[in-house]
Amino acid sequence: MNLKDINAVGNLLSKPQQIVIVPHKNADGDAIGSTLALWHYLKNMGQQVHIIAPNDYPKFLKWMPGHEQILNFEKENSQAKALIEQATLIFTLDFNHLGRIGQMESALQESQATFVMIDHHQAPSDYAQYMYSDVTMSSTCEMIYNFIEFLGDDDKITPEMAICMYTGIMTDTGSFKYSSTTSRTHKVVAALIDKGAENTRAHNLVYDTNTPSRLHLLGCALKNLVILEEYHTAYISLSQDELETYNYQKGDTEGFVNYGLTLHGIYFAVIFIENREEGIVKISFRSEGEFSVNEFARNHFNGGGHTNASGGRSDTSLQETIAYFVSLLKEYKAELNP
Ligand code: 5GP
Ligand code: MN
C-alpha cells in the first residue's frame, strides 16, 4: 500500500462507515487474528463493524478476544447477506482472489462497497480499490500492525488486539521459524508483547490442545507416510474412513504436512485429505528451499499460496489424485534435486 492509498483509507475511516471484514474459507490463525485485531481497532474508533467468515474455523482459535462476534456465512446466512448489502467498506484479509471465500463470492461480487485488500499471498487479483499486498511479509497480522502504525495509531493497540496479532504471526511463521520470519517480524512481536500480548498463553491455547483422538489420527497419518527418495519428496494421505475412525474435528490435521520436511534429504512434503462430503481431495504442499509449491499448486491443483506453503484441491478420487501427483514429479526431478 503506498502512502496515497493509506491516506485514502485513513480518510474513509474518518467518516462513519458500515464495515465488513472477511477472512478466507477454512480460516487459520493468521486470518482470524488479523480480522479480529482490525475489528477491535475499527470498533474502538467508533465504526460499525462486523466480521463474516465464509464457514466454520478450528476450535483451537475460539478463545481469541472477540471471536464470539464472528458471523458464519453458511450458518447465519441472511444476517450476513444483509450486512454485506449494507456495507460501505469491505476489508478482505489473508487472501487475494474471491475464489478463496467459497459460497460467499457472489455476495461480495454484488456489493457496491469500497474494497480494501490486505494480504501476503502471491499473484493478487484486482477486485480491491485499495491494496496492501506484500509477499515478503510473514503474515497478514504483521501487515495489520504496519497498517495501524502507518496511520499513526500504534498507541491505540490494546492487549486484546496485541494477542490477536501475536497469535497470527506465531501460527503463520511456525512459531517464528519459517524463512518469512525477519528481524522486523521479531520487532513487531516484541512490540506486541510490550502492548500486553501474553505470549506463553497464546502458545498454550493454540498448541497444547491435543485430544487422544487427534494424536491417534497423527499416528495413522505418519503410518501412511510415503517417501520418494528419488524426488526428495514425502507424502501423507488420509481417507474419509480414516478421519471418521479417529473422530476427525476441523483443524485436527493442522501441521501434519510438516512432518515430511523433518526428514533428512526431504524438501517437498504433501498431505492429501479426502473430503467425501465436498467430493474433493484437499491438498497441502510444503517445501524447503527454492522449489515453489505455489506454482506447483497453481499449475496442477487449482490452488496457490506462498513459495514454501501452498494448498490446492482435486476433484478425482484419493487414489487417482495421488497417482496423478506422483506422475507429475518426473518433470520436476531436476528442480527437486538441490
Ligand atoms: P494450508 O495448506 O495450510 O491450507 O495452506 C497453506 C497456504 O496456502 C496458506 O497461505 C493458504 O492461504 C494457501 N492456500 C491453501 N489452499 C489454497 C487454495 O485452494 N487456493 C489458494 N490460492 N491458496 C491456498
Ligand atoms: Mn497468512
Q: What is the pLDDT along the chain (338 residues), one digit of tens a residue?
A: 667 788 899 999 999 999 999 999 999 999 999 999 999 999 999 999 999 999 999 999 999 999 999 999 999 999 999 999 999 999 999 999 999 999 999 999 999 999 999 999 999 999 999 999 999 999 999 999 999 999 999 999 999 999 999 999 999 999 999 999 999 999 999 999 999 999 999 999 999 999 999 999 999 999 999 999 999 999 999 999 999 999 999 999 999 999 999 999 999 999 999 999 999 999 999 999 999 999 999 999 999 999 999 999 999 999 999 999 999 999 999 999 97
Residue 131 lies in a domain: yes
What number does the ligand 1 atom closest to the CA of 257 have?
Answer: 2
- Looking at this protein, which amino acid is placed at residue 75? K
Q: Whose CA is nearest to atom 17 of ligand 1?
A: 311
Which grid cell sits at 263?
526428514
What number does the ligand 1 atom closest to the CA of 28 have?
Answer: 3
CB contact at 8 A, 238 and 272: yes
Signed CA dihedral, 236, 247, 55, 1: sign only: negative
Ligand 1 pocket mutation pick from 26, 97, 100, 138 by most atoms within 8 angstroms of CB: 100
Name the domain boundary from 169, 187, 207: 207
**Residues 78 and 167 reside in one and the same domain:** yes
Question: Who surrounds ion ligand 2 at CB < 5 A?
Answer: 30, 94, 139-140, 172
The span from the CA of 80 to the CA of 74, in Å, is 9
- Looking at this protein, which amino acid is placed at residue 219? G
The span from the CA of 189 to the CA of 170, in Å, is 9
Residue 36 lies in a domain: yes
Residue 337 lies in a domain: no
Task: List pocket residues of ligand 1, CB cut-off 6 Å.
Answer: 24, 100, 121, 284, 303-306, 309-313
CA of 91 to the centre of ligand 2 (A): 15
Q: 4: buried, middle or exposed (CB in 10 Å: 19+, 13-18, 0-12)? A: exposed
Give the CATH number for residue 162.
3.90.1640.10
Residue 318 lies in a domain: yes
**Residues 41 and 106 reside in one and the same domain:** yes
Residue 338 lies in a domain: no
Which grid cell sits at 26?
477454512
- Looking at this protein, which amino acid is placed at residue 320? E
Which grid cell sits at 240?
474419509
Residue 278 sits in which domain range? 212-332
CA dihedral angle for residue 215, residue 219, residue 221, residue 222, rounded to 10 degrees: 130
Instruction: Give me the pLDDT at residue 6, please.
Output: 81
**Residues 20 and 128 reside in one and the same domain:** yes
**Residues 110 and 21 reside in one and the same domain:** yes
What number does the ligand 1 atom closest to the CA of 26 have?
Answer: 4
**Residues 94 and 118 reside in one and the same domain:** yes
**Residues 156 and 274 reside in one and the same domain:** no
**Residues 28 and 143 reside in one and the same domain:** yes
Instruction: Give me the pLDDT at residue 321, please.
Output: 98
Residue 289 gets which letter from DSSP? S
Residue 316 lies in a domain: yes
**Residues 69 and 164 reside in one and the same domain:** yes
CA of 26 to the centre of ligand 1 (A): 9
Residue 112 has a CB neighbour count (10 Å cut-off) of 8
Residue 282 lies in a domain: yes
Q: Whose CA is nearest to atom 22 of ligand 1?
A: 304
The span from the CA of 209 to the CA of 206, in Å, is 6
Instruction: Give me the pLDDT at residue 338, please.
Output: 78
Ramachandran area for residue 310 (φ above 0: left; ψ -120 to 50: alpha; else beta):
beta
CB contact at 8 A, 59 and 251: yes
**Residues 151 and 248 reside in one and the same domain:** no
**Residues 35 and 170 reside in one and the same domain:** yes
The span from the CA of 103 to the CA of 25, in Å, is 9
Residues 6 or more apart whose CB falls under 8 angstroms from that of 291 comprise: 267, 268, 332, 335, 336
Ligand 1 pocket mutation pick from 298, 310, 313 by most atoms within 8 angstroms of CB: 310
CB contact at 8 A, 30 and 168: yes
pTM: 0.95
Q: Can you state the angle between helices 159-172 and 29-44, rounded to 10 degrees?
A: 160
Number of domains observed in the structure of the chain: 2
**Residues 202 and 247 reside in one and the same domain:** no
DSSP 239-278: -HHHHHHTT--TTTTTTGGGGGGGSTT--EEEEEEEETTT
Residue 252 lies in a domain: yes
Give the CATH number for residue 326.
3.10.310.30
Name the domain boundary from 177, 207, 237: 207
The span from the CA of 162 to the CA of 320, in Å, is 45
**Residues 138 and 241 reside in one and the same domain:** no
CA of 147 to the centre of ligand 1 (A): 23
CA dihedral angle for residue 195, residue 35, residue 137, residue 28, rounded to 10 degrees: 110
Name the domain boundary from 175, 207, 239: 207
CA of 142 to the centre of ligand 2 (A): 9
Instruction: Give me the pLDDT at residue 1, please.
Output: 61
CA of 93 to the centre of ligand 2 (A): 9
Q: Whose CA is nearest to atom 24 of ligand 1?
A: 311
Q: Whose CA is nearest to atom 13 of ligand 1?
A: 305
97, 288, 292, 295, 331 from 123: Cα distances, Å: 9, 21, 13, 10, 24
The span from the CA of 301 to the CA of 18, in Å, is 37
